[in-house]
């Protein structure tokens, strides 16, 4: 086996939740270029079809699963159905997530509950559904998308910070329970990336100036710069990496 073959994903099927745009779509594209067939997921069938056509135009093998990742029963039905009708899901990227900004003292409880469902429950729902099949096969890769906010906090996003801290710890729990069955469960913690979720911040000159000064790399990240970490954690190259959160952040968590 050559060194590069350790990173090959040829013949494997990867599910990426929340993959119609931003980080999810970039990761799906990157896994496809590494040889995987990818399952795109979202709730909007129109956006899902558009994203699938975009990847197929680049030569990717793409499947579409339109389900709400916050709905445990719907997730189980979708995953079980795909496994029975199409093939094994050998890689799962739990990327679905959202942000809501407000001062903590004014944070609406409904918004807090939405964050919990979208950022934490989805990781549990999809992770459990795919793991049940992976366990029976004795192998599988689960990669959860955490955040620098798994370790840090900023004003107006305290509940988001709580959810991403939970993602990092749920990742440890997955590894603790499932490593004995041959699964590797890890997380990627992106720093500040130019995505639709961060569009308002990217467009804010004051914030961008602060970020460039605060980040040792001196700039926003590009979503394509997350692909290498995703391929590594999805491949045989990470066969003894488990319960780890890999920060891809330009050095922001390393520097005061």
**pLDDT tens, position by position, 173-227:** 999 999 999 999 999 999 999 988 888 899 999 999 999 999 999 999 999 999 9
**CA atoms of 176 and 142, how far apart (whole Å):** 13
- Across 202-231, b (16+ Cβ under 10 Å) vs e yields beeeeebeebeeebeeeebbebeebbebbb
Q: Dump pLDDT digits (tens) for 77-107.
A: 999 999 999 999 999 999 999 999 999 999 9
Q: Which of 100-114, 126-140, 153-167, 194-208 shows the lowest mean pLDDT across its residues?
A: 194-208
Q: What pLDDT, on the 0 to 100 scale, is given for residue 247? A: 98
Report yes or no on whether pTM surpasses 0.85. Answer: yes
- The pLDDT value recorded for residue 2 is 57
> Rounded to the nearest 5 degrees, what angle is found at the Cα of 62, between the Cα atoms of 19 and 87?
105
**Catalytic positions, please?**
160
CB 75 within 8 Å of CB 129:
yes
Strands 13-16 and 91-94: parallel
Instruction: Check if the beta carbon of residue 66 is closer than 8 Å to that of residue 48.
Output: yes
The residues, any chain, with a CB within 8 Å of residue 75's CB and separated by 6 or more, are: 67, 68, 69, 125, 126, 129
Look at residue 4 in the predicted model and tell me its pLDDT: 79
Tens of pLDDT, residues 28-83: 999 999 999 999 999 999 999 999 999 999 999 999 999 999 999 999 999 999 99
Indicate the average pLDDT of the chain: 96
Domains along the sequence of the chain with CATH: 4-249 (3.40.50.720)
Span 229-246, pLDDT tens digits: 999 999 999 999 999 999
């Amino acid at each position: 086996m050559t060194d590069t073959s350790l990173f090959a994903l040829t013949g494997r099927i990867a599910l990426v939740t929340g993959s119609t745009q931003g980080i999810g779509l970039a990761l799906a594209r990157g896994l496809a270029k590494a040889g995987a067939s990818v399952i795109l997921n979202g709730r909007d069938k129109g956006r899902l079809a558009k994203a699938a056509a975009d990847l197929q135009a680049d030569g990717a093998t793409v499947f579409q699963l339109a389900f709400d990742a916050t709905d445990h029963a719907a997730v189980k039905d979708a995953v079980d159905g795909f496994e029975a009708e199409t093939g094994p899901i050998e890689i799962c990227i739990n990327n679905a997530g959202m942000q809501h900004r407000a001062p903590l003292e004014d944070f609406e409880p409904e918004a807090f509950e939405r964050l919990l469902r979208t950022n934490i429950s989805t990781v549990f729902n999809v992770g459990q559904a795919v793991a049940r099949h992976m366990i029976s096969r004795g192998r599988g890769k689960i990669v959860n998308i955490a955040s620098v906010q798994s370790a840090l906090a900023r004003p107006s996003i305290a509940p988001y910070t709580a959810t991403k801290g939970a993602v990092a710890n749920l990742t440890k729990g997955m590894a603790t329970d499932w490593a004995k069955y041959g699964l590797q469960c890890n997380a990627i913690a992106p720093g500040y990336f130019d995505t639709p979720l961060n569009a308002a911040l990217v467009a804010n000159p004051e914030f961008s100036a602060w970020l460039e000064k605060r980040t040792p790399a001196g700039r926003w990240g590009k979503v394509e710069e997350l692909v290498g970490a995703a391929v590594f954690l999805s491949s045989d190259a990470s066969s003894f990496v488990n319960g780890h959160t890999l920060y891809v952040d330009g050095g922001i968590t390393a520097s005061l």
